Structure 1
Amino acid sequence: MPNRLAEEKSLYLQQHGDNPVDWYPWGQEALLRAKENGKPILVSIGYSSCHWCHVMAHECFENDYISQLMNEHFICIKVDREERPDIDQIYMEAVQMLNGNGGWPLNVFCLPDGRPFTGGTYFPPDDRGSGIIPWPQLLIRVADYFQRNRNELEQNARAIVGNLTASNQPVEASEEPINTTSIIEAAQTIVGQHDEKYGGFGDAPKFPSSMTLSFLLELRGSATINFKHQKLGNKIDQTVKSTLTAMARGGIYDQIGGGFARYSTDAFWVIPHFEKMLYDNGLLLDIYTKAYLRYRDPLYRCVIEETVAWLERDMRSPDGGFYSSLDSESEGIEGKYYVWTPRELEEILGKKEGSKFCQFYGISEKGNFEEGKSNPVLPVATLEEREKLRYFREKLLAARYQRPPPAKDKKQLTSWNSLAIRGLSEAGFYLNQPQWFEIAKKAADWIWEVMRFDKCRFYAVHNEGETRFNGYLNDYVFYSEALLSIASKAEWVHPGASKVYIDRACYIIASTIAHFKDGESNNFFFTSDDHEKLATRKIDWWDNAIPSGTSSLVHCLSSLYALTNDSQYIEKLISLSRSYSALAQKVPNGVPYALAGLVSDAIGVATIKIKGTGNIDALQDELSQRPWRRTFLLRSDKHQPAIYQLCIGTQCLDPTDDLGEIVNHLCF
């Protein structure tokens, strides 16, 4: 019999709609019921494409005996972390404080008022000798302890909330903004963690580390690296190239259909958890574009082209926005949609060509995955050999579309869409693909029309025709950064359009400051001032799988000051720089995207004012040849003779009709 979740909009909640568990969605009804019945609350948090969330659901939440225990002793609440990252942040931090680690599924036991007292992540249904307590045993223990030792649990909850509040204190800013020494030391720390054998950072599991790579690529173009720290520059080159190449050749990249999975389960990038997230692919489009401009590796261009094709083919909504994710499972089996046997390939491609494809893509009788199946990787083939196999990849992709597909989470998130918009905008311009830029622009316009309310407030989620939930800090700031990317290139294909997007970005940042800033301090909260009141209102400094909203704000403020010469933007940027100076010295890995923005600002944001009939296509062609500082193209007086004027920051050169002179000054 369906439970309350069956009618919810969230795919993740719907996936639990047939559980025998008496689930509630997050809301006042569940909290009131807990207080009325004097029961503890179980808050279970996950997302639709999460492999281990599915495993625990199948093993525990579909089990009648276990569900009976849950219903008898607890008020059970299911939360989609992608819709409610605010709730997820608080309970995740609580579990990390208790256990030293976290992850999803996240299962937290709380007092009837929602304050947590214990919790964990995945729990098996029985004892498997792993040292993890079985879920039914834990349920019985917690229920019994709640009845016998309520006062002790009250003390635990009070201490946890106190620690959450204490960890949420404003960052103590340095007296001076961040300096070159701190930036160089941060980069040295980061490249020192590079895995020189396999690329990436650290050991398994391995994540794309997009923000870290963004910082290194931004720093690589600075005069400090080019003239004073060439050895570090060489190390940055090695780190970035080995990581991006290993990912592009590995199994974390979908060699048949394009796009990246969330992370690799091994250190070699061979076997991923197969879920594909919109945010990873938006961020990686931007990274591979920057890397292609610097290193001109044609493999990177292939990755960009194939990832854009996947986004357009599989992830784009008819309204112009983008869906959130693809599940790791199909037919209840992780990776089944993506893996192959030699026999399958020979049936599709023919014996000779199938054997050849297996050789190049590491597909063997033994297999590199489960049950003799292989996830395609491309360890040694040359780019020419890869290109010759394009036709066979297309045949395999067509065959793969005949398989039952992974579930697609069709909710559209303002923040994740904004990351995809920025990646598409950058790739479209620098690879001279105006149709990609048009896709980005259409998605940006869709957000403005559909996700906006009260002049310049934003919703976080659009699903099944309905907009929901107050936008979070990253919804506002990621969207502003995406609009600025559109604005910087709009004159290329839409003369006169840049001002519209600059103005929108200004309005959004004003709204952000009004609703998210912590009074006179440098801190920005993750939730707005009129958001639902939770156990604590989290301050948002740290980059994680996506940049923090505050890190993204650094990029926005830098661009807006260069565009408007409005002192409020530089004042706020300097203020944030003082805070990031302190953070970079302590945990540089925690704030790389902010450091990327500060380096970009130090290099200098460029604006090229094109007056009259200036040849913007020639300028685009020049800009696509090598890496440049962040650059905005602005056009005015299009009926006058061609004149260009370059400004770097707020310092402007004399107008000239010589495009070559502009390009020479634009170099780092």
Structure 2
Amino acid sequence: MPNHLVNEKSLYLLQHANNPVDWYPWGEDAFAKAKAEDKPILVSIGYSSCHWCHVMEHESFENDYIAGLMNEHFVCIKVDREERPDVDQIYMEAVQMIAQHGGWPLNAFCLPDGRPFFGGTYFPPEDRSNGMVPWPQVLIRVIDFYKKNRNQLEENADSIVKNLFASNTPVEPSNATIDRTTLEQAAQELARRHDDEFGGFGQAPKFPPSMALNFLLQARASLLESAKKAPELKEVSQRIDEVINTTLKGMAHGGMFDQIGGGFARYSVDRYWLIPHFEKMLYDNGLLLDIYSKAWTTYKNPLYRAIAEETAIWALREMRNPDGTFYSAYDADSAGEEGKFYVWTPKEIKDVLGEETGDKFCRVYNITDTGNFEHGYSNPALTESDMEIRKSLKPARDKLYEHRKNRVWPGLDKKQLTSWNSLMIRGLAEAGFALDRKDLFDVARDTADFIWNNLRTESNRLMAVYYNEAKLNAYLDDYAFYAEALLSLIAYVEFYHPGESGKYLERCESVAHMIIEHFKDENGAGFFFTSHDHEDLIARKKEWWDNATPSGNASLLHVFSSLYYLTAKPEYQEAFSALRKAYTGLLARNPYGVPHTLSALMAEMNGIEVIKAKDVDNLDQLPAILRELPWKRRFTLVTDAENQPAGYQRCIGTLCLQPVSEPGEMFQESL
């Protein structure tokens, strides 16, 4: 018999709708029941493409005995963390305080009002002699403690909530000045943490460091400029180039990139980028599309162009909703096994390609008889760095892709999130311009328009999720990422749709005003994750550190600085300066936890550029000129303002150069 999740839209919740556990969705009904029956609450949080979430469901939540324990003693709430990142944020931080680690599935035990007192992540159903307490024992111990030590649990819960509020305050702002030297030194220190053999930072598991690479890409430009006065810095810039290129090549050649179908998996379980955790997330691919496109513009390595193009094609082919937005994720599992959709044996390859081509493919892509994955299977990863060999095998890859389509596909989570769609909009806009692919840019533009027209209320507020209709009030990330996406459209839209930059600038300003009005902390630094009129939770949180996606506050540094140079309105400079000051303490303590912040500060230090064009008839010449330059945050606006002189005027930060009639004349020193 279905439980209370049966009418939900979330795929993750629906996957649990037929569990014997009497799951409730997050809402007043569950809390009212807990208070009326004086039962503790179990808040269990996960997402549809989470492998260990599936494992715990199968082992414990589908077990009648365990479900009986849960139903008798607890009110059980299931939460999709992608729908409710506000709830996930609170209970993840609480469990990290309690257990000193976090992850998903996340299981938090709470008092009837939602205050957490205990929690953990995955628990096995029985004793496996690995030190992990079995889930039934956890349940029994928690209910026993709840009945016998209620006062102590109340004290524990109060302490946790107090710490949740305390963590909103960033590290005390430092008096240190954030100048060009400070940021360049941060880049050098980050480079020292680089894995020079395989790329990336640290050991396994390795996550794609998109935001760190974006910062380094801008730091190299700063170092090259500084090297004009201090020649020794040119060698430092070359070191930054090595770090960027080693990492981009390592990810592109490895098995984290789907060599057959395009797109990136979430992370590599090893140091070598060989074997991924096979789930594919929209946000990762948006961020990686962005950095590979910028790297192509900067380094002109054809591998980067190919990876950007294949990632964009994958997103359009396999992730796009016909309505105009993008789905969230593909599961790691298919047919009950992780990675089964993606791995091969030499025989399977040769059955599709024939002996000669199949043998070559196996050699180039590391498909062996012993396998590099489980059960003798291999996950394709390039062993050759020669682009001509890669190009020559494209027909083979296409043939294998067509064959692979007949396998059992991983599950697709069709929820459409404003925040993650915005990251893909940004990636597609940058790719469209960098690759000279108007079709990709137009998809970015169409998706941004869809959000504006379908996930915005009459009161001009954004919504967070779309399932054929919009639902849930938007969070800070939704607003901030969408504003950043609009900035990428503003940068290039005049080249494809003349006269539209003003429209997207107006929208971006509208979103920025909503953020300031509804998310700003009037009594402290920064912006809250939820709006002032959001549902009351046990804590109203702020996020300062970057995670798999940028923090909303870091994203706003990009938004406010760009809007200031686009509009010259002091309110944006004031907002940027206040946020920058809030981050000084964090930068002094751990700059590597805030790469998107470093990127925003470096972009502003390098001088955000605005090219103003008035009464020109050769704008079509400008894109090719810009593509010959290393990537930099530049905007092109067509204007008819009376006080704007005719021709092209390049403004770098607050310095505007003399207008010229030919676009190439603006960059004669750079070209």
Normalising by the residue count of structure 2, what TM-score does the alignment of the two structures yield?
A: 0.97
Q: In structure 2, which of residues 529, 536, 543 is the aligned counterpart of residue 526 of structure 1? A: 529
* Structure 2, gaps ≥5 residues long: none
- Closer/same/farther in 2, CA of residues 381 and 559 from structure 1, 3 Å limit: closer
CA distance in 2, matches of 1:181, 1:603: 12
Separation (CA, whole Å) in 1 of partners of 2:645 and 2:181: 46
> Residue 163 of structure 2 aligns with which residue?
163
Deviates more, 1:189-198 or 1:335-344: 189-198
Q: Give the corresponding residue for 1:286.
A: 290
Q: Which amino acid aligns with 1:603?
A: N
| Contact kept? 1:360, 1:381, Cα under 8 Å | no
Select which of 378, 388, 394 maps to 2:392.
388
Whether 1:468 and 2:471 are equivalent positions in the alignment is yes
Q: 1:5 to 1:128 in 2, by over 3 A?
A: same
User: Letter of the aligned partner of 1:634 in structure 2?
Assistant: L
Residues in 2 aligned to 1:631 and 1:61: alpha-carbon distance in whole angstroms: 52
Decide whether the 8 Å contact of 1:182 with 1:581 is kept in 2: no
Match of 1:268 among 251, 267, 272: 272
Which residue does the alignment assign to 2:517?
514
Alignment check: 8 A CA contact 2:332 2:338 kept: yes
CA apart distance, 1:234: 2.1
String of CA shifts for 1:178-215, please: whole Å, max 9, x gaps.
Answer: 22232133223311211112111111110001111111
Query: Which residue does the alignment assign to 2:104?
Result: 104
- Secondary structure at 1:221's aligned position in 2? helix
Letter in structure 1 aligned against 2:618 = N
- Answer yes or no: is the 8 Å Cα contact 1:182–1:584 preserved in 2: no
**Cα distance in structure 1, aligned partners of 2:385 and 2:267:** 23
Candidates 351, 365, 369, aligned match of 1:365:
369
Cα contact 1:252–1:272 (8 A) shared by 2: yes
Matched with 2:451 is 447
Give the Cα–Cα distance (whole angstroms) in 1 for the partners of residues 187 and 497 of structure 2: 38
Partner of residue 562, structure 1: 565
Q: Which moved more, 1:467-476 or 1:167-176?
A: 167-176
Partner of 2:262: 258
> How far apart are the structure 2 equivalents of 1:46 and 1:246?
30
The question of whether the paired residues in 2 share the 8 Å contact of 1:178 and 1:580 is answered with: no
Please give the alpha-carbon distance, in whole angstroms, between the structure 2 residues aligned to 1:614 and 1:126. 74
Question: Partner residue of 2:303?
Answer: 299
Aligned to 2:82: 82
Greater mean alpha carbon deviation, residues 2-11 or residues 655-664 = 655-664
Aligned residue identity for 1:633: T
1:328 aligns with 2:357: no
Output the amino acid matched with 1:398: E
Q: Considering only aligned residues, what root-mean-square deviation do their CA atoms show, in Å? A: 1.6
The correspondence for 2:659, drawn from 651, 655, 659, is 655
Query: What is residue 614 of structure 2 aligned with on the other side?
Result: 611
Matched to 1:201, the amino acid is F
Counterpart of 1:600 in structure 2: which amino acid?
A: A
Q: Does 1:456 align with 2:454?
A: no
Equivalences for residues 512-661 of structure 1 within 5 A? 512-519=515-522, 521-637=524-640, 643-661=647-665
- Identical counterparts, % of pairs: 56
1:377 CA displacement:
0.4
Q: Alignment length, in residue pairs?
A: 665
Residue 4 (structure 1) aligned with residue 4 (structure 2): yes
Asked if the contact 1:186–1:585 (Cα under 8 Å) also holds between the matched residues in 2, the reply is no
Q: CA deviation at 1:62?
A: 1.0
Q: Match of 1:289, SS?
A: helix
Deviations 1:1-21 (A, max 9, x none): 221112210000011111111
Aligned to 1:347: 351
C-alpha contact 2:629 2:670 (8 A) present in aligned 1: no
Aligned to 1:282, what secondary structure does the other structure show? helix
Can you list the C-alpha shifts for 1:378-418, whole angstroms capped at 9, x where unaligned?
Answer: 02241111111100100110011111111111111011000
**Is the CA contact 1:608–1:644 (under 8 Å) kept in the aligned structure 2?**
yes
**What is the match of residue 411 of structure 1?**
415
* 2:170–2:585 Cα contact (<8 Å) kept: no
Deviation of 1:629 after TM superposition, in Å, equals: 2.6
Contact 2:457 2:463 in 1 (8 A): yes
Deviation at 1:232, TM superposition (A): 2.6
Aligned to 1:115: 115
Residue ranges of structure 1 left out of the alignment (5+ in a row): none
Q: Which amino acid is 1:636 matched to?
A: T
Structure 1 CA distance, aligned partners of 2:651 and 2:617?
Answer: 16
Distance 1:33 1:81 in 2: 22
Q: 2:480 aligns with which of 477, 492, 501?
A: 477
CA offsets 1:284-315 (integer angstroms, 9 cap, x no match):
11111111122211111110110011001000
**Structure 2 residue 241 is the aligned partner of structure 1 residue 237:** yes
- The question of whether the paired residues in 1 share the 8 Å contact of 2:174 and 2:588 is answered with no
Q: What does residue 210 of structure 1 align with?
A: 210
* Counterparts of 1:520 and 1:556, CA distance in 2: 22
The 5-angstrom pairing of residues 25-64 of structure 1 reads: 25-64=25-64
Displacement of 1:101 in angstroms is: 1.2
Separation in structure 1 between the aligned mates of residue 298 and residue 660 of structure 2, nearest angstrom: 28
Write the distance in 1 (CA, Å) between the matches of 2:170 and 2:375: 52
Name the CA shift for 1:54/1:225 in 2 (closer, same or farther; >3 Å): farther
Structure 1 residue 547: Cα displacement: 0.4
In structure 2, give the amino acid aligned to 1:140.
Answer: I
State the shift of 1:652 in Å. 1.5
Compute the TM-score of the two structures, normalised by the length of structure 1. 0.97
Corresponding residue for residue 504 of structure 1: 507
- Alpha-carbon offset, residue 177 of structure 1: 5.2
- CA distance in 2: counterparts of 1:487 and 1:184, whole angstroms: 28
Partner SS, residue 42 of structure 1:
strand
Q: CA deviation at 1:591?
A: 1.1
Pair 1:246 & 2:250 matched = yes
- Shift of residue 642 of structure 1? 7.3
SS in 2 for 1:610: strand
* 1:478-533 per-position Cα deviation (integer Å, ceiling 9, x unaligned): 10111111011111011100000001001110110010010153311011000111
Shift in Å at residue 578 of structure 1?
A: 1.6
Greater displacement, 520-529 / 365-374: 520-529
- Paired with 2:171 and 2:197, the residues of 1 have a C-alpha distance of 37
* Counterpart contact for 2:294–2:631, Cα < 8 Å: no
Give, as a single letter, the amino acid of the residue that structure 2 aligns with 1:90.
I
